[in-house]
Structure 1
Amino acid sequence: MLKDFADLSTPLIADACVRTGVPLRVAPPGIGAVVTGGRVAGPVLPVRHYGSVDVFLEAYGRAEPGDVLVIDNGGRTDEACVGDLAVLEAASAEITGLVVWGLHRDTPELAEIGLPVFSYGAYPAGPVRLDEREPEALSSARFGPHRVTGEDFVFGDADGVLFVGAAVVEEVLETALRIGATEREQARRIRTGETLRHQTAFEDYLVLREADPSYTFRRHLRRTGGAIEE
């Protein structure tokens, strides 16, 4: 999946979701890679954190090569729920990355390990709580307003993180590739002097909108083959 994601980006996947009618499930703003340039893509391995690393170790025992550990720590900003040992163990389980709704610590060590980790940022203190575990601890996770399970895929890069259902991920990726190719061609033409206004027949759009106020630019782009707004 990471190979399929190599020529794509989360903005392209988000646009493809809109184009195909797939609900957008984007992680809250602020979730980013610990190491600049980090990218992650793969099936979701969900886990909920309750203050102890044991739930991660249990999840690793269920992992398939290529899975991405998606950690629900409730978006907490008063503790770091993963550090170097948890990430090293993830690598040994052939997990390809971690996406944390919360904070991490041991930043230099994580950079040295090299496994992509996405979180809200660094915080030195680990958990001092131990909450009661829920039955769904290893079957689903919340990430912001979204619920994710093993039936989802996760994608992350410099623009953030989003989730796509396994049943539609192939269609979304194919659509994202087409949108990306269109946008690259549009960018090439702008660089050679052909403005975006000319490419999209923007003057025609203004005339058509004047005649029909319900005529949107998105509708116009679809008619002209553009790919700016999705």
Structure 2
Amino acid sequence: MDKSIVERFSKLDTTSVSDAMDSIGKPCGLLGLKPVNPGTVICGRAFTVHYTPCGEVKGTVGDYLDDIAAGDVVVIDNGGRDYCTVWGDLMTIVADRNKVAGTVIDGVCRDIPTVRKLGYPLYSKGCYMVTGKDRVFVDYTGKPVSISGVQVKPGDIIIADDTGVICVPAELEEKLIGIAESIAEKEGRIEAAVRSGASLKAARESVGYHSLQTKK
């Protein structure tokens, strides 16, 4: 996959990319995910992981971290469960050592002191100390998952910052990058104009601000 496009997306914030996705009528926001370490950012391709509840036969919580390439993003679908965690200190240590770009979880995490000490980019729906072992297990990796009702496929681009987390489908990335860069450039022109004393109305009108994210 094209690494140069990931590099270009890494220079953008989630709001510009979200507006670009709106302009083509595609959902991208992964609602409810927040940074454990404010100020950390993520941009990389998704490595997907799916958890399901245990039955009589207990499954493993997974050693999939050994299979993730440096620069990729762990995307965990734990069905939004808040009663058990699927990420803790040992996984953070290994992911950080292996230069994984970050982790996003539709669910909760634990061992926050280690996550913060390492400055690891981790986004989740909260924290809770109860282990997922014998409660949930990994039933597959490398297939499409659902995060906050949005499909994430292996290889999709995940972008996260303090505003939230978004997913850019790989099949749309070449179309989206130019739109997002254009929106960011126009937002920059508006900012420069108002800092120079222009009215907000005039600055916005000069770049057609009110139609930037409107579906074409």
TM-score after normalising by structure 1 = 0.79
Q: 2:72 is matched with which residue? A: 67
Structure 1 residue corresponding to 2:13, chosen from 9, 12, 17: 9
Aligned CA distance change for structure 1 residues 63 and 40 (closer, same or farther; 3 Å): same
Q: 1:87 is matched with which residue? A: 92
Q: 1:24 is matched with which residue? A: 27
Aligned CA distance change for structure 1 residues 6 and 41 (closer, same or farther; 3 Å): closer
Deviation at 1:182, TM superposition (A): 0.8
Higher strand share: 2
Structure-1 separation of matches of 2:161 and 2:146? 20
Contact between 1:42 and 1:68, CA under 8 Å: does it hold in 2?
yes
Structure 2 residue corresponding to 1:148, chosen from 134, 149, 152: 152
Structure-2 separation of matches of 1:141 and 1:162? 14
Contact between 1:102 and 1:119, CA under 8 Å: does it hold in 2?
yes
Deviation at 1:181, TM superposition (A): 1.2
Q: Once the two structures are aligned, what percentage of the paired residues are identical?
A: 25
Aligned CA distance change for structure 1 residues 71 and 163 (closer, same or farther; 3 Å): same
Unaligned runs of 5+ in 1: 202-223
If asked which structure has higher relative contact order (CA below 8 Å, sep 6+), I would say 2
Unaligned runs of 5+ in 2: none
Deviation at 1:22, TM superposition (A): 5.4
- 1:227 is aligned with what amino acid? Y
Aligned CA distance change for structure 1 residues 196 and 172 (closer, same or farther; 3 Å): same
Contact between 1:47 and 1:55, CA under 8 Å: does it hold in 2?
no
Aligned CA distance change for structure 1 residues 158 and 132 (closer, same or farther; 3 Å): closer
Further displaced range: 99-108 or 119-128: 119-128
Deviation at 1:151, TM superposition (A): 3.5
Structure 1 residue corresponding to 2:46, chosen from 44, 47, 63: 44
What SS does the aligned partner of 1:77 have?
strand
Q: 2:203 is matched with which residue? A: 199
Query: When the two structures are aligned, how many residues end up with a matched partner?
Result: 204
What SS does the aligned partner of 2:79 have?
coil
